[in-house]
Amino acid sequence: MRVALTVAGSDSGGGAGLQADLKTFSVFYVHGVCAVTGITVQASKIEEVYDLPPSLIKKQIKTLANDLKINSAKTGMLRKSEIIKAVADVLSKYDFPLVADPVILSKSGYELLKEDAIDDFIDFIFPLSSLITPNRYEAEKMSGIKIKSKKDVEKALKILKKKGANSILIKGGHFPNKTDYLYHEGKIFEYRGKNFGGCRHGTGCSFSAAITANLAKGIELKESVRIAKNFIEKAIKYGDKAGKICPVNQISWIAKDAERWRAHEELNFWLNELLEEKIYDLIPEVGTNFAYALPKIFLKDEKDILAIEGRIIKAGKKLRAGEIKFGSSKHLAKAIMKAMEYDENIRCAINLKYDENLIRRAKKIHNVSSYDRQEEPEEIKNKEGKSISWGTEVAIKKAGKVPDLIFHKGDIGKEAMITILGKNPKEVIEKLRKII
């Protein structure tokens, strides 16, 4: 297994520092090891930093390098000149690629690289590094110029090159266009980004760690940066608040695919259970669908909702179900998406033919609500796909929460319908079983 080393500070809040590095290494299937340079007392902001003795930092690196074949390394917080010199001294004895992330200030403004140590970082770390990854502020501090335009970026890159850096990536998180600029082998390459919301705590650490992980796998530098850019955008987009901090979500790199597989397995199992139930007479003319959405953090549109392609239909005296695929439902998917606006845990639904006996039994054990399609506003009727969202919302507001079952009695050209909602396929099937 490939091995990547991080020489960085510990973030007690788990969002940045070596904790972010190790999480990032793992999602790229690289074994992460660490040499701790300092201990921070932090959650939403840094309260205090304790620097470890340089001799102890050196010993950590030597011990790891002697017992493990390290394929790449990165540096994070190197707070003092003594630490910088010690790290440079020991790393100079090895030939694995090094990514240096010059962490100068925390997001809350705490000094993580002392002002009087910046020159030593340039003199001792730059020459050893395959790549340095400053953000806009860090690039300004080390180049000595203000960066306000693309020309300024190009100028700063060339200055940093003259100061001994081999390749430089000025990260674009603080630029309006979110573009990263890489100076490599005498050329400047642009990695255009996207401007969107999300969580950004630990962005710089995780981005540089992703580059380091890919270098460990033998991927060349430009491609490592491209992969890392894709990774960090997903990590930001699918980040989620943890108390007062909002860390990037490193695992989103693989988590969405894992959730897609998990949802497919779950829906497939309960579809087979459903087909064993006595629901033949409850299949409407348009067919029955059974849909299951990904968790809200991964839910963008109907394409992130599993359903049955072609629905469940009557075939002679038996039922026939199509293949389970993402994006196979429009109508039921819209009901789920509207329900998730009110309760993100309600991710599953099934539609059935309207049956008064079923409604009567349901009212005894479930929270039941309804809407009247004849009351649907003209502007809703005239917009394709808006009716289900409108009706679901009306029923939710009438019930005061997302109900277990919603029904309507149809309209001209519109079949009467029942929808059962639940957290997952198992819960939906159990609700159905109780009323049949």
Domain extent listing, the chain: 3-250, 255-435
Cα–Cα dist 435/422, whole Å: 15
Residues 6+ apart with CB under 8 A from 326: 260, 303, 304, 305, 306, 307
Q: Specify the amino acid at residue 174.
A: H
pLDDT reported for residue 413: 80
pLDDT band at 380 (very low <50, low <70, confident <90, very high): confident
pLDDT reported for residue 381: 77
User: What pTM, to 2 d.p., does this model score?
Assistant: 0.80
pLDDT band at 112 (very low <50, low <70, confident <90, very high): confident
pLDDT reported for residue 45: 83
The 8-class DSSP code of residue 128 comes to G
The 8-class DSSP code of residue 242 comes to B
Q: For residue 220, is pLDDT > 90?
A: yes
For residues 184-196, one letter each, b for 16 or more C-beta atoms within 10 angstroms of the residue's C-beta and e for the rest, the string is beeeebebebeee
How wide is the angle at C-alpha 282 spanned by C-alphas 280 and 285, nearest 5°? Answer: 95
How wide is the angle at C-alpha 75 spanned by C-alphas 154 and 194, nearest 5°? Answer: 50
Q: For residue 385, is pLDDT > 80?
A: no
Q: Are strands 405-408 and 368-370 parallel, antiparallel or unpaired?
A: parallel
Q: For residue 7, is pLDDT > 80?
A: yes
Q: Region 288-302: what's the mean pLDDT?
A: 94
pLDDT reported for residue 98: 98
- CATH match of 3-250 with 3.40.1190.20: yes
Q: Region 37-47: what's the mean pLDDT?
A: 90
Q: Region 61-67: what's the mean pLDDT?
A: 95
pLDDT digits (tens, 9 = 90+) for 150-193: 999 999 999 999 999 999 999 987 787 889 999 999 999 999 98
Q: For residue 349, is pLDDT > 90?
A: yes
Q: In what order do the strands lie in the sheet with 3-11?
A: 46-51, 31-42, 3-11, 72-75, 98-100, 131-132, 168-170, 180-184, 187-191
pLDDT reported for residue 396: 98
Class of domain 255-435: alpha beta
pLDDT band at 126 (very low <50, low <70, confident <90, very high): very high
Q: For residue 378, is pLDDT > 90?
A: no
Cβ pair 131, 74 in contact under 8 A:
no
pLDDT band at 200 (very low <50, low <70, confident <90, very high): confident
Fold matches, 3-250 and 255-435: no
Which has more pLDDT, 384 or 363? 363
Residues 6+ apart with CB under 8 A from 262: none
pLDDT band at 285 (very low <50, low <70, confident <90, very high): very high
pLDDT reported for residue 42: 87
